Amino acid sequence: MMRKSEVKRTTRETDITVMLELDGEGKSSVDTGIPFMNHMLELFAKHGFFNLEVRAKGDIEVDYHHTMEDLGLVLGQALAEALGDKAGIRRYGSCILPMDETLALVALDLSGRPCLVWDVDFPAQMIRDLDVRLFCEFFQALVNRAGMNLHVKKLAGEEVHHVAEAIFKAFAKALDQAVSLDPRVKGVLSTKGSL
């Protein structure tokens, strides 16, 4: 069973294509037009063992908001399509991840019910020219399109780059757990019979 998808979304603001393979090796090719976001998506692929290709062109001369939000939408859609009916997956995943002085907690449920709980106080507002508030916009869009319950919490952290990186790595590891197949799961992991 090939658990992969390719999603393309074109609007007047962005043109984005994402190819996602859940059972990958951590290979990535990412060009979003936003250097720090390239870095975050590359390490997401590496630490989640996902193969990921991203090509995005956005109106970044205006600002990064449209591109960041639409990246979340397209990645969320790609995840939903790669999962299909979610048969056999573990459904839940979590990770508490340290990075130097930073500690990030991510827990998620591929329930089909979108909910983001974002408890992150960044120690600075900007990483280079990227407003860190856009990470919440990215994850909100991803959650909405993927149908995911996602909790993200900063437990410690004084360096803004470390906080962002710990969050993306923890998200990758939690998602890797949740999408992994478990032979004990017959159909979907729900007493309702569907997710």
Provide the CATH number for the domain around residue 98.
3.30.230.40
Domain of 40, in residue numbers: 4-179
pTM: 0.97
Residue 39 lies in a domain: yes
pLDDT in tens, 32-69: 999 999 999 999 999 999 999 999 999 999 999 999 99
Mean pLDDT of 103-109: 98
DSSP code per residue over the chain: ---EEEEEEE-SSEEEEEEEESS--S-EEEE-S-HHHHHHHHHHHHHHT-EEEEEEEE-TTT-SHHHHHHHHHHHHHHHHHHHTT-TTB--EEEEEEEETTEEEEEEEE--S--EEEEE---SSSEETTEETHHHHHHHHHHHHHHT-EEEEEEEE-S-HHHHHHHHHHHHHHHHHHHHSB-TT--S-SSTTS--
Mean pLDDT of 15-34: 98
- What percentage of the chain exceeds 90 in pLDDT? 96
Residue 192 lies in a domain: no
pLDDT value of residue 2? 85
Residue 195 lies in a domain: no
Domain count, the chain: 1
pLDDT value of residue 193? 85
Residue 186 lies in a domain: no
Residue 184 lies in a domain: no
